[in-house]
Each structure stands twice: as C-alpha cells, then as structure tokens.
Amino acid sequence: MSRTTGFRRGAPLLLALVALLAGITSCAQRPASEEPVQQGNDPASAFPVRVKLSGQEPVTLPEQPKRIVSLSPTATEMLYAVGAGNRVVAVDKYSTYPERAPRKEISALNVGAGTVSEYRPDLVIAQAGSAGELAEGLRELDIPVLLTPSAKDLSAAYRQMKALGRATGHSEEAADTVRRVRSEIGKLVREAPELEQPLTYYHEVGPDYFTATSKSFVGSVYEKFGLDNIADSAGGKFPQLSEEKILRADPDMIFLADTGTAGVTKGAVAERPGWQTMTAVKQGNVYELNEDVASRWGPRVVELARSISEAIDDTRQG
C-alpha cells in the first residue's frame, strides 16, 4: 500500500477528529450571553451569563448560583417569585416577604463583606446606592455582586425581574412572572371606574409630610389610573410638603404608606389640627396601604394597583 493511499483513507478520520476538537474548544470558550437562553430542562446550560442593570457595571456569572444572599427586600421578593428561592441562603432583616425567607439580623447599611462571606455566597444582591462599600469588599473576595437600582416605573421593574431571572437561571419563570404582573395590572386599569374629571391625591410616606410625586415608582402606578398628584409641583421624587400646602390642595383622596414603622392610621389623620375640614377626611377617603407593598417594586405591585383601584371605586361611589 502506498503512503498516499493510506493518507487518503485516514483523511476522513483526521477531519472528524479536528471537527470534534474544534467543537469542544468552542464550547469551552463560549462567551457570556446577555440574552435569555432557552433553558430546556437544564437551567445551568444558560451559563455563563452577563447581567447588566441600568447605571451599574455588568456582572458575569460563570455558572448558575447555588448560594444567594439578598440584601434588598425587593430583590428577595423577585427571587422567590421567579423560582430561585430555594437557592437563597440569607436575606436582610428588612426582607419581610415571603415569610419563609431565611431572614438574618443584617442589612446592606451595616454589614461587612467578611460577615456576608460567612454564608459562602456565589452571588450577592444589594440595593444600588446603599451598598457601594460592601460591594467593593465582596469583589475583593471574588464574590459576584449585583446592585439593583430603584425602578423608576413599571417597565424598569419588569426589566429588573427578568435580569434576576437570567442571573439565577430562571429566565423563563421570570418572563412568566412579568407577563402575569403586566396582565393583572392592565386588567385593573381597564376595569377602573371612569371619572368625569381626574381625582387628586396625596400619598404620605412619613408623618412629617414626606410624599412621593409622579416621578417616583409608586407615583407612576397612580398615574396609570389617571390620578393627579398634589405634590408634583414640588419637584423631585420624594419632597417634603408643608402642612399648609396639603390643606390648601385639599385632595380628594389620601393614601397612607407610613402605617408600619410610624403607625399612622386613618383615625390619627382625622385628629390632625385642621385636617377635619379636608374633603378626603370628611368623606372618608383616607386609605391605609401595606407599607412594604407601597415601597417596593416587586411582583406584589399588583396588590398596590388593586388597592388604588378599589379606593377609586370607593371614592366615586361616596
């Protein structure tokens, strides 16, 4: 047999081997994806992934996280909603929902990287703007940190839910959660009573008259229902109003989002000097909100939207 003939017969085998090695190398060098991957039955196959949130540095996760620490109450709610709760090993003391979350006496404001590292996390999620020093310490320990900014509106909240789904290998569940939340809020808005003219409202964040304007996340939810915010002229997201301005504006509705930490109630508002003359107080249109629901931008925003819808119906009938 000639050498040429032997080479020709061995060529197909050689080419097959080269192709196989090229495929293995390609898989090993697969770049991190920023797009959701069809997971099938193996969520881990989506990794590595590159997650980018508005205003934050991108984070690359080489493999699906197995031990997650959440230091953001909103992020905690999102993680459980998208199906990643079984991978959460610790949450901060303000993460009051769901009750089964492993709450610890820590917060992003007063915990050090060393303490967090004791939970052996392969992903830490914290609130942007309140955990900068902590994030730097965790990065020095080679622990991935995802900082979540406050959502400015529902669209931003939906993007954040999807980002956390992608970061945890639950892209499909996150997409389902967003569809459900968007659908339920849309239904509440469509079925809300039609008003001849917009109702005005005051949303109280604190008993010292801090409030939220339409530029805030919660304000954007009210805006969906066509309500007019008496604080918008003050500018910003969370201005402090004078009592005189509130009395002068005489809103049709008052929403109390300081019912938890400050313990403000409908009865307490009615006892404030001069407030008995306000339209909302006289007609009984003062509504107590769940403080946690009203201050977060997770999936329970549906509950906030439902409370607003029911309040509008009650005010219109009254």
Q: How far is CA 4 from the centre of its chain?
A: 67
In the chain, domain spans: 43-174, 194-317
Tell me which residue has tokens 């995802």. Answer: 146
What pLDDT shows up at residue 30?
A: 44
pLDDT tens per residue across span 175-222: 999 999 999 999 999 999 888 889 999 999 999 999 999 999 999 999
Phi then psi dihedrals of residue 197, to 5 deg = -145, 150
Q: Say which CATH superfamily domain 43-174 falls into.
A: Nitrogenase molybdenum iron protein domain (3.40.50.1980)
Q: pLDDT below 70 — which residues of the chain?
A: 1-41, 318
Cα–Cα distance, 315 to 318 (Å, whole number):
5
Cα–Cα distance, 237 to 218 (Å, whole number):
10
- C-beta of residue 272 within 8 angstroms of C-beta of residue 306: no
Cα–Cα distance, 260 to 272 (Å, whole number):
19
| DSSP string computed for 7-28 | HHHHHHHHHHHHHHHHHHHHHH
H-state helical runs in the chain: 3-28, 73-81, 113-117, 132-140, 154-168, 171-191, 217-224, 243-249, 266-270, 279-282, 291-295, 301-317
Cα–Cα distance, 249 to 256 (Å, whole number):
17
What pLDDT shows up at residue 294?
A: 97
Q: What is 194-317's CATH topology?
A: Rossmann fold (3.40.50)
Tell me which residue has tokens 């303490």. Answer: 115
CB count within 10 Å of CB 97 equals: 18
